[in-house]
Structure formats: C-alpha cells, structure tokens
C-alpha cells in the first residue's frame, strides 16, 4: 500500500475495522454477473476527470488531503464544541468514500481520462455502497460513504456527525484543489498564450504563488520552467 495512505489507515484504532478497510483498499474491485471489474492501479488513478485531482495519483492526494481536513474537524468538535465524534468511523469513511473511482476511469494516450463502460452505467457512489453492503461493513460507516456528496448531489443528506465531517472535508479538499488547478490553467494561458497542459497540484500551487509574488512575469517564468522540466523528463 502507498506509504501516505498507509499512515492514514494505521490511525484506525479498531483492529477488525482497520482490517476490513485494508482489504478493500488492497482489493478495490467489484463483481457483477460473474465479471470482476478491476480499475486503474490506485497509485495511478485521478480522483476526478476534469474538476479536481485530475492527474495520476490524484486519488491518493485527495484521500490524504480529505483525511487531514476531517481530523482537524474532529478536533474542533471535541476541543471547541465539547462534542463527541467517532474518529475511526470518520477515517474509514474518508479512506473508502472514493476508493472504487479507479474502476470508473480509463486513461487515454494523451494523458486525459474517459469514463469506462461500467461508469456509464453505475456511478462510484453506487458501486462503493453496494460493495460495502456485500462485504458486511457497519451501517453507520456505509451511511457516511453514501452521504459524502450531500443531499443535493447525492442520494441522502448526512444524518450523523461523522457523515457530516466526511462530507464537509470532501467538499473542502475537492474545492481547494479544483480552484487552484483552474486558476493555474487560467494564469498559464494569460501569461504565455497557451494553457499549461494538465498541471499537477504542486505545479498549480507554484503558479498561483508566483503570480502573487512576482506578477505575470513570475507566472511566465514558472510555466516556462515547468515546460522545460517536462521536456527533460521525456
């Protein structure tokens, strides 16, 4: 398992729950009509086709980012509001909420992604909820995953504090990443006449930072540097 992801998984204290989560993370597949669907390797999968984390390893970045936001919210609940929250359920929910997304993307030769035939029929949320029911996960954990898009974009509103934490953390990390990627694409196009092709999160944050510190000239220099290093990597 990826070391960044393993560090998050290891924070689940309940041993039997952790073991079930590990099994799904290490074998994120689903069987339908006798056919086993296996997606992109977790380490290669994006977490979105266009809007956020739309690059290889984006899904792991998203899980790690969302976990850190979620754990901070747990601390706020406990230390500021003196409320109760089950961190094991929150962590497990965050780790699993998009774990079957790799089954929904196909990588194209130009580095973009398109939906698989499976994804044209079932969305990642339906897939993971079905698989968690089949594998006998606790109802309160399945609810967290089922409610992670909220009631406007998903089938049900969060009805527990743990589900609300996961939903808010998911929205926060997706939005943070998506807005910065979008800004980087816009800035690179304005500064150089051509959008930097599929920036990583690191490149995107650097471009946005360079605009603040050095203005358009800084953006130009940063984007040129990135293009050069990509050429060098080819």
How far apart (Å, rounded) are the C-alpha atoms in residues 42 and 48?
13
Q: Which is nearer to Fe ion, 58 or 218 (CB)?
A: 58
What string of DSSP letters covers 143-203? HHHHTTTHHHHSSS---SHHHHHHHHHHHHHHHHHHHHHHHHHHHHHHHHSSPPSS--HHH
- Using CB atoms within 10 A of its CB, is residue 22 exposed (0-12), middle (13-18) or buried (19+)? middle
How far apart (Å, rounded) are the C-alpha atoms in residues 146 and 166?
11
Q: Which is it for strands 113-115 and 105-107: parallel, antiparallel or unpaired?
A: antiparallel
Q: Which is nearer to Fe ion, 54 or 210 (CB)?
A: 54
CB of 147 to Fe ion, least distance (A): 11
Distance in Å from the first CA to the final CA of the chain: 27
Q: Which is nearer to Fe ion, 47 or 222 (CB)?
A: 47
CB of 233 to Fe ion, least distance (A): 29
Structure tokens at 129: 């909820």
Q: Which is nearer to Fe ion, 62 or 211 (CB)?
A: 62
The sign of the torsion formed by the CA atoms of 230, 225, 227, 60 equals positive
Structure tokens at 41: 């390797």
CB of 157 to Fe ion, least distance (A): 15
Q: Which is nearer to Fe ion, 178 or 218 (CB)?
A: 178
Structure tokens at 166: 């996961």
Which residue from 60, 48, 39, 7 is spatially nearest to 149, judged by alpha carbons? 48
CB of 140 to Fe ion, least distance (A): 18
CB of 174 to Fe ion, least distance (A): 6
CB of 97 to Fe ion, least distance (A): 5
Maximum pairwise Cα distance, the chain: 58
Structure tokens at 98: 């998009």
CB of 226 to Fe ion, least distance (A): 26
Q: Which is nearer to Fe ion, 104 or 188 (CB)?
A: 104
Instruction: Give the residues lining the site for Fe ion (CB under 5 A).
Output: 98, 170
Q: Which is nearer to Fe ion, 61 or 98 (CB)?
A: 98
Residue 201 has phi, psi (to 5 degrees) of -60, -40
């Amino acid at each position: 398992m990826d070391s960044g992801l393993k560090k998050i998984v290891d924070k689940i204290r309940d041993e039997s729950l952790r073991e079930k989560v590990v099994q799904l993370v290490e074998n994120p597949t689903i069987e339908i009509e006798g056919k086993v669907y296996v997606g992109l390797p977790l380490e290669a999968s994006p977490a979105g086709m266009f809007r956020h984390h739309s690059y290889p390893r984006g899904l792991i970045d998203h899980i790690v980012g969302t976990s850190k936001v979620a754990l901070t919210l747990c601390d706020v609940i406990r230390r500021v509001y003196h409320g109760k929250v089950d961190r094991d359920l929150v962590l497990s929910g965050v780790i699993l909420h998009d774990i079957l997304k790799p089954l929904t993307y196909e990588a194209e030769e130009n580095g973009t992604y398109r939906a698989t035939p499976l994804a044209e029929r079932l969305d990642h949320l339906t897939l993971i909820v079905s698989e968690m029911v089949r594998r006998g996960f606790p109802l309160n954990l399945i609810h967290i995953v089922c409610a992670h898009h909220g009631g406007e974009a998903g089938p049900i509103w969060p009805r527990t504090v743990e589900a609300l934490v996961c939903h808010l953390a998911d929205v926060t990390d997706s939005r943070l990443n998506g807005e910065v990627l979008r800004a980087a694409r816009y800035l690179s196009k304005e500064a150089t006449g051509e959008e930097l092709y599929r920036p990583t999160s690191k490149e995107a944050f650097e471009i946005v930072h360079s605009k603040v510190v050095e203005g358009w000239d800084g953006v130009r220099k940063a984007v040129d540097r990135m293009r050069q290093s990509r050429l060098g990597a080819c």
